[in-house]
Amino acid sequence: MNQPFYEKEPLKPIKLTFPFLVWDSPRSPFWFPQHWHERMEMLYVLKGSFNADINGKAWVGREGDIVTIDTGLIHGFFDSSADSAVRIFQFGPDIFNEALVELQNRELMIPVFGQRPLISARADKSLHDSLERLLMEIDAEYKHQEAGFRLLIKAKLYEIAALLLRNTPPLPQQDARTHYNKKNNTQLLERIFSCLYDNHDDPSFMLEDAAREVALSKFYLTRFLKEQTGQGFHEHLTRIRLRTAENYLASSDMSITDIAFSCGFQSLASFNRAFRRYIGVNPSVYQSRKQLFHGSPLHDVP
């Protein structure tokens, strides 16, 4: 599998006692297919805009906005502006230690990092400004890594959690139940996306093939994907193929034609058309910038 729907990779370099990372998106536009992970995540939009789908609900993130994603929620980022860039903060739930029990609304039992996915200065300036300040302070501590930086980062994450608990109005109970019951569909979604990732390089792979492999009718598969993620089968398959193509263009010396066919496109023309639509530039232009993308966005913490 080229890139699992269940994403594990980014926290591997971190010591288990400090499951935390922060980095800036290495490429513009910023986008990523649907996936989920056990880490909590906060995104700060540095510039531009993108559409976010979090557990089947659509949001638009714009410059200065803060996106919060709780552990286990299915999410992806799409239709980004050409200059979009984000700062990504990821942390394992165990960074909160014994305080983990506090990270949910006590009446509705809703995890605090999933209760309000988008926080903007336009809608709640006071909360937004406080969170923005804390995130930038965390970023500075992580970059400079002076004595005690782990303690300060953990303290600021605790403060963020407390701010969200005290300042985020709870979802109506029915909406909350509907929102979090979607977690129960994760296992089926993982089967579907694993199937797509495993077969995306086959240009003959079709909806009927995916349905047969996951033992669903093609009609149910189409409806289920649309209900759970807001996008259909072909949309997801194209985005997965393009994500793989992006990686080849940024890190290999393969020709554009070879990349197109290696990623499952049936023709160079269809690859160029899809790449321009979703990425905003021609593959040749993107490939010419590949020196900007060398190196990993991940940083080890000593």
Helix (H, G, I), strand (E, B) or coil at 264: coil
User: Residue 243's domain spans which residues?
Assistant: 183-293
Statement to judge: residues 69 and 174 lie in one domain = yes
Which segments within the chain are labelled E, that is strand? 20-24, 32-35, 40-47, 49-54, 57-62, 66-69, 75-78, 85-91, 104-105, 110-111, 118-119
CATH number assigned to the domain comprising residue 278: 1.10.10.60
Q: Is the pLDDT of residue 286 over 60?
A: yes
> How far is it, in rounded angstroms, from Cα 142 to Cα 153?
8
Regarding whether 222 and 151 lie in a shared domain, the answer is: no
User: 92 lies in a domain?
Assistant: yes
Q: How many domains is the chain partitioned into structurally? A: 2
What per-residue confidence (pLDDT) applies to 37?
A: 82
Q: Decide: pTM greater than 0.85.
A: no
Q: Report the pLDDT averaged over residues 279-295.
A: 73
The predicted structure's pLDDT at residue 297: 41
**Are 69 and 41 a contacting pair, CB within 8 Å?**
yes
Residue 214 burial class via C-beta count within 10 angstroms: exposed 0-12, middle 13-18, buried 19 and up: middle
Domain boundary pick from 179, 197, 213: 179
Per-residue pLDDT band at 296 (split at 50, 70, 90): very low
The verdict on residue 166 lying in a domain is yes
Query: Tens digits of per-residue pLDDT, 222-274?
Result: 988 888 787 889 999 999 999 899 989 988 889 999 999 999 999 999 999 99
pLDDT bucket at 69, cuts 50 / 70 / 90: very high
Q: For 189-219, how does the pLDDT look when each residue is reduced to its tens digit (9 = 90+)?
A: 888 888 998 999 999 999 999 999 988 888 8
Same domain for 102 and 114, yes or no, is yes
pLDDT of residue 2: 40
Three-state SS sequence of 187-232: HHHHHHHHHHHHHCCCCCCCHHHHHHHCCCCHHHHHHHHHHHHCCC
Choose one of 154, 179, 204: the last residue of a domain: 179
Residues 83 and 202 in one domain: no
Q: Do 151 and 207 share a structural domain?
A: no
Q: Is residue 253 part of a domain?
A: yes
Rounded CA separation 80/25 (Å): 13
In a shared domain, residues 236 and 215: yes
Q: What confidence tier does 38 reach under pLDDT thresholds 50, 70, 90?
A: confident
Domain CATH for 143: 2.60.120.280
Q: How far, in Å, CA of 224 to CA of 15, rounded?
A: 38
